[in-house]
Amino acid sequence: MKRPKIKKALVFLVLAPLAFVTLLLIEALLALSGGTEPFKNPSRQPRRLGTHGPALVYVVMGDSTAAGQGGAYERGIALQTAAYLSQSRRVTLTNLSVSGATTDDILRSQLPAALRLKPDIVLLSVGANDVTRLTSGTTLKRSLARIVDRLRESRCDTRIVLTGAPAMGTVRRFAQPLRWVAGLRSSRVNRVFASLIAERQLVWARIAQETGPLFARDATLFAPDRFHPNERGYAAWVPVINAALDEALNQQPISSC
């Protein structure tokens, strides 16, 4: 009499994970099919801000968040943080960011230009695409380490700030349970960032931790694509990044030159 119950339990144990994975795949396809507005990556031409103080070469590398997708570029994190730095410095900003970039993409395609600029400080705003494209922790840490090490080989006193992944578990384009899985993936990716940041004595702009609860509560912080922050969303990130830039410039230990 017990065998039919055992068989049913075994069938459930086999089919339940398959059903869950199938649901996630369907939700992922639906999210991808949502599309986005046409977007043009920012100009690579340097932009100068500020009229007094020491000169500062500021390079931004990253994905769509650094490129400002979802709102007006002037209100995005690259230009807003540069404007903050220019209050007491003569800043030359170069934004090398590309929408859709993973950490490995930055290593291959953005880093060479950054090395030529020999920046005083670098903002690396990346992680979201490593979450969605399931980059392994080993690959992610290796790419991050190479970026950091090559920047410091080019100029040993370059200060480096990393954002890590934003709180992807708040993204409205993702239905449940995909949103929940994205949140777990964000946490795992950010643990890799935390490890590398500690090892290399970098500075972390903790946008996921500091602003994630806000994004979870307020859907109006997202652009119409329900994926990227809008101008108000990026404005929530800016103070977190500004504080990290200050920490990097004032407190971050400088590697031996």
CATH of 42-250, one of 3.30.870.10, 3.30.70.60, 3.30.365.10, 3.40.50.1110: 3.40.50.1110
- Angle between the N-to-C axes of helices 231-250 and 77-85, in degrees from 0 to 180, rounded to the nearest 10: 40
Structure confidence at residue 83 as a pLDDT band (50, 70, 90): very high
CA neighbor of 93 nearest in space, from 162, 52, 44, 47: 47
Q: pLDDT tens digits for 119-155?
A: 999 999 999 999 999 999 999 999 999 999 999 999 9
Helix, coil or strand: residue 125: strand
- Residues with Cβ within 8 Å of residue 151, at least 6 apart in sequence: 111, 114, 115, 119, 122, 158, 160
Pairing of strands 47-49, 90-95: antiparallel
Number of H helices, E strands in the chain: 10, 6
| Half-sphere exposure (Cβ direction) of 247: Cα atoms closer than 13 Å | 16
pLDDT classification of 1: cutoffs 50, 70, 90? very low
Indicate whether this model's pTM tops 0.75.
Answer: yes
